[in-house]
Structure 1
Amino acid sequence: MSTLLTVINIVVLLAIIIGLYAMQKKHISFSKRVFIGLGVGILLGLVLQYIYGTKSDVLKATIDWYNIVGKGYVKLLQMIVMPLVFISIVSAFTKMKLTNNIGKISTLIIGLLVGTTAVAAAIGIASTLAFNLDGAQFQQGEAETARIGQVEQRLGDIQSMTLPQKVLELLPANPFLDLTGDRATSTIAVVIFAAFIGIAYLGVKKKTPEHAELFAKIVDAFHAIIMRVVTIILRLTPYGVLAIMTRVAATSDYNAIWQLGKFVVASYVALAIMFIVHLLLLAFAGLNPITYVKKAFPVLTFAFTSRTSAGALPLNVKTQTQDLGVPEGIANFAGSFGLSIGQNGCAGTYPAMLAVMVAPLAGIDPLSPSFILTLIAVVALSSFGVAGVGGGATFAALLVLSTMNLPIAIVGLLISVEPLIDMGRTALNVSGSMTAGVLTSKATKDLDTNTFNDTKPQSVTVS
């Protein structure tokens, strides 16, 4: 009987997937299909949990099969991340507009990413204090106990390292190993390696331009192929989001979420305020923030539903160049650096909130100016090397909490609301990198304001 029920559940998912595919054939917009997949996934998950219950063997078997679509989609995104980051950075150097401004552009982008992360940390601290959140109030169940064990194991290597050693971990001793994504800091290591390749290209271009020209053509060809692979994977987004949200809705402990509701609300308040800060920065630069919201919405929607900053990279760059008027080189830099440096949500707001929540458990006054200033500085420095696909926020939190000598068990206690909060954090990460790209190109006077102000966005579809 249980096998029959599992088969029925699989057929239901397949029927919904066919429906989404039919919508694609009718040219219904990519954003609408993603949102439909999100909504139907939540509804299906709630129905499955209501019928079977979270402990049911039928539900476990059903989710196992659903994971082929959901986790399979995430694995495909992970597959393309490192090649995409590498080729995006190298191709940025082969674009002529970057040649004379590389140092200035890199400094501006990194400065904006790290600076906004420091602001995000301050906002996270303020939100935590305003909502009077206390880490001692959270309850520990079986899932939380298991997660805490995993967190403590992951912390082992991090805790024994000094800050200089953590900085050294960012460097690519073996770039081919980092291209596999083997280390938590692999993303930024690949960025650094690609930057060295790009700088070498500029040197060769001056001495033997014919070799540089050949290399640039090869890079352009690889970039075109990689971007095509990305497009193929992105077409699967509505189906992946459907399966992922079904799993989340079907297996979530809603009692635990209810108990942690205050933390969820405080988190989204902090994320929303930080997003407003992005809009204010654009307004101060003389750009219309409403125009930015309209054009960035499809990318932020994708980031929100897929929970992967890295997966959003191609749409991120495409929107910056085609809709916001950012030169391709700057867009590639901002998008790629944004995967590793200064993620406002995962590396800024979240670790700061956790640190304030557990500070009293370590006998520290979270209102102490010295504690707050130290925490903001540690968060900003620790924001280097945060992974762009899943687990980045956990890694950032572990870095901050261990550096501040604070209890790390809080990371495991929030397992039940992680997916819910991670959606907002990821969208903010992507908005931060796009804002950095727009502001940098405005500062260097490379921004095409006519394209930015054009009311008809060009990159809302994945084709």
Structure 2
Amino acid sequence: MSFAVLVNISIMVGLLYVLYHFQKTYMPFTRRVFIALGMGVAYGACLQVFYGFPSETLTESIGWFNIIGNGYVGLLKMIVVPLVMVSVISAILKLKGAGALGRISGWILALLMITVSIAAVIGIVAALGFGLSAEAITTGAREAARGEQLLTTVARVENLSIPGMLVSLIPANPFLDMTGARSTSIIGVVIFSAFIGVAALGLHRKEAVIAGKFESFVEVAHAIVMRIVTLVLRLTPFGILALMTKVVAGSNFSDILQLIQFVIASYTALIAVFVVHLIMVTMVGASPVQFIRKILPALTFAFTSRSSAGTMPLTIQTLTQRLGVSEGVSNFAASFGTTIGQNGCAGIYPAMLAVMIAPTVGVDPTSFSFIGTLIVTIAIGSFGVAGVGGGATFAALIVLSALGLPVELAGLLISIEPLIDMGRTAVNVSGAITTGFVGGRAMGEVNMDTFNSNDSPELDMDTVS
């Protein structure tokens, strides 16, 4: 390890200690999150200016920073399966009826399909409005290599069918899904947990004593898991500091400037979709300003981590503890929203790419037939994202291959992928939270006193008594 790397690590340790001091003095969680975000941007920019890009010192330093950043994301992913499992079972036991379960699932899936379709329309308008075209993007060695990689990957997508996508959601081996081995593992865990909950409800009518013991076990397990969630969430500011430092320090700003028009168009579309979410919140009688204030910590982590799955514990906590949504609705919205109907990855991104690439093969991207087919393909293909995994890349492959467009051209944007992916992930999580809140309001599953309260519990504090 060089002396320069050692100095960089020492500075990071010092910044972590500052955040620890703020925690020990009981500074509010939200304030610590934004301080960590600012510190990460500032430190990353200093490293970028001092060492330049690329730099071996910078690369090695980021590798050490990843112990904190990627380690925290790993801890969040560690608790996703047990959190979803005990929360879904606990929520169903409180529903006291399988009919409510079907109603919740129907509302969540319908809202996810509606929002991802709206996101696709916004992506199309943004690409056309900014005059984006794949023909204007210069191809380099990295872009060419990425295009070849996508060509080898597209075979997995072409073999998929809608029935196959739906069948892949069924947990044929629920214990395998508990290990996260499949891209559809989270949905598999949700479905298996739902069966356990419904079975427990049926057992309650026939063997009340045994069912009561099971309910007590679930209650204890739920309390323990929530305590683990609290312990992990307390590390959020530290994780954000390391992740944001990595993003800023490791970005190639010359490549970003060359594709700045696509960056601006993408974030314009992402902001527009977020505004749609706020309109939906307003339509169900809630304050959009209060909504933003309550969900901002979760969106901040989603933005820095680029992981919808990693953000899931914060998403569930935000819905239940800060927005007042019932556990059943919260868990289904967070679980399905992580893998189905992602507004950023499965809606905006494939739509913009399709409009950009269509002229290269002589297709008019402004024709109503093309736009209509594109929107329908995106809505249906959003289920395919869960079926194959890989987020925005596979969503784009599904759409482009279905429309007969050259998939290798999607590799032209590899240099700005991390920057765009940050915004996409935040919008994915915003869509899941909005779906849970709007669906909960429609079903009467939201405590508006909790939503309107300005004294919401912090996400890193104990959430169970």
Task: Report the TM-score, using the length of structure 2 for normalisation.
Answer: 0.92
CA contact (8 A) 2:357 2:405 kept: yes
- 2:75 and 2:152 map into 1 onto residues whose CA distance is 27
Amino acid at match of 1:209: A
SS at match of 1:295: helix
Following superposition, the deviation at residue 120 of structure 1 comes to 0.8
Segments of structure 2 that go 5 or more residues without pairing to the other structure are none
Alignment CA distance shift 1:223-1:82 (3 Å): same
- 1:74 and 1:322 map into 2 onto residues whose CA distance is 21
- 2:350 and 2:22 map into 1 onto residues whose CA distance is 40
Alignment CA distance shift 1:299-1:58 (3 Å): closer
Match of 2:159 in 1: 160
Alignment CA distance shift 1:152-1:216 (3 Å): farther
- 1:174 and 1:218 map into 2 onto residues whose CA distance is 23
Give CA-to-partner distance per residue, 1:244-294, whole Å, 9 cap, x none: 222222221111101111111111111111111112122222222222222
CA contact (8 A) 2:88 2:327 kept: no
1:5 aligns with 2:4: yes
CA contact (8 A) 2:33 2:297 kept: no
Match of 1:147 in 2: 146
- 1:62 and 1:233 map into 2 onto residues whose CA distance is 24
CA contact (8 A) 2:184 2:386 kept: yes
CA contact (8 A) 2:323 2:450 kept: yes
Match of 2:275 in 1: 276
CA contact (8 A) 2:329 2:445 kept: no
Give CA-to-partner distance per residue, 1:355-409, whole Å, 9 cap, x none: 2111222332111212211211121122226469x94222222222222222222
Match of 1:458 in 2: 457
SS at match of 1:311: helix
Superposed, 1:75-86 pairs within 5 Å as 75-86=74-85
CA contact (8 A) 1:41 1:242 kept: yes
CA contact (8 A) 1:41 1:245 kept: yes
Match of 2:252 in 1: 253
Segments of structure 1 that go 5 or more residues without pairing to the other structure are none
Match of 1:63 in 2: 62
- 2:201 and 2:384 map into 1 onto residues whose CA distance is 26
Match of 2:422 in 1: 423
Amino acid at match of 1:442: R
Following superposition, the deviation at residue 323 of structure 1 comes to 3.0
SS at match of 2:15: helix
Alignment CA distance shift 1:163-1:440 (3 Å): closer
Alignment CA distance shift 1:351-1:187 (3 Å): farther
Match of 1:393 in 2: 392
SS at match of 1:37: helix
SS at match of 1:445: coil
Match of 1:215 in 2: 214
- 2:185 and 2:129 map into 1 onto residues whose CA distance is 36
- 1:361 and 1:86 map into 2 onto residues whose CA distance is 47
- 2:101 and 2:289 map into 1 onto residues whose CA distance is 30
CA contact (8 A) 1:42 1:245 kept: yes
Amino acid at match of 1:235: R
- 1:244 and 1:7 map into 2 onto residues whose CA distance is 19
CA contact (8 A) 2:98 2:198 kept: no
Match of 1:120 in 2: 119
CA contact (8 A) 1:31 1:301 kept: no
Amino acid at match of 1:245: M
Alignment CA distance shift 1:22-1:58 (3 Å): same
Match of 2:302 in 1: 303
CA contact (8 A) 2:317 2:459 kept: no
Match of 2:337 in 1: 338
Superposed, 1:4-153 pairs within 5 Å as 4-96=3-95, 99-153=98-152
Following superposition, the deviation at residue 8 of structure 1 comes to 1.4
Following superposition, the deviation at residue 295 of structure 1 comes to 1.9
Following superposition, the deviation at residue 97 of structure 1 comes to 6.0
Match of 2:225 in 1: 226
SS at match of 1:342: coil
CA contact (8 A) 2:240 2:301 kept: no
- 2:274 and 2:28 map into 1 onto residues whose CA distance is 25
Following superposition, the deviation at residue 112 of structure 1 comes to 0.7
CA contact (8 A) 2:70 2:243 kept: yes
Alignment CA distance shift 1:11-1:459 (3 Å): closer
CA contact (8 A) 1:170 1:385 kept: no
Alignment CA distance shift 1:369-1:202 (3 Å): farther
What RMSD, in angstroms, separates the aligned Cα atoms of the two structures?
2.3
Match of 1:238 in 2: 237
Match of 1:436 in 2: 435
Following superposition, the deviation at residue 124 of structure 1 comes to 0.9
- 1:354 and 1:245 map into 2 onto residues whose CA distance is 27
- 1:232 and 1:284 map into 2 onto residues whose CA distance is 36
CA contact (8 A) 1:186 1:385 kept: no
Amino acid at match of 1:182: A
- 2:21 and 2:444 map into 1 onto residues whose CA distance is 44
SS at match of 1:165: helix
Alignment CA distance shift 1:323-1:11 (3 Å): closer
CA contact (8 A) 2:41 2:244 kept: yes
SS at match of 2:363: coil
CA contact (8 A) 1:92 1:333 kept: no
CA contact (8 A) 1:382 1:396 kept: yes
SS at match of 2:338: coil
Following superposition, the deviation at residue 63 of structure 1 comes to 1.8
Alignment CA distance shift 1:171-1:263 (3 Å): same
Match of 1:356 in 2: 355
Alignment CA distance shift 1:229-1:134 (3 Å): same
CA contact (8 A) 2:256 2:415 kept: yes
- 1:150 and 1:84 map into 2 onto residues whose CA distance is 35
Q: Which of 206-215 and 249-258 deviates more?
A: 206-215
Q: Which of 147-156 and 416-425 deviates more?
A: 147-156
Give CA-to-partner distance per residue, 1:35-67, whole Å, 9 cap, x none: 222222222222223222323322222222222
% of aligned pairs identical? 50
Amino acid at match of 1:187: I
Following superposition, the deviation at residue 460 of structure 1 comes to 4.9
Amino acid at match of 1:179: M
Alignment CA distance shift 1:168-1:160 (3 Å): same
Q: Which of 132-141 and 154-163 deviates more?
A: 154-163
Following superposition, the deviation at residue 100 of structure 1 comes to 4.5
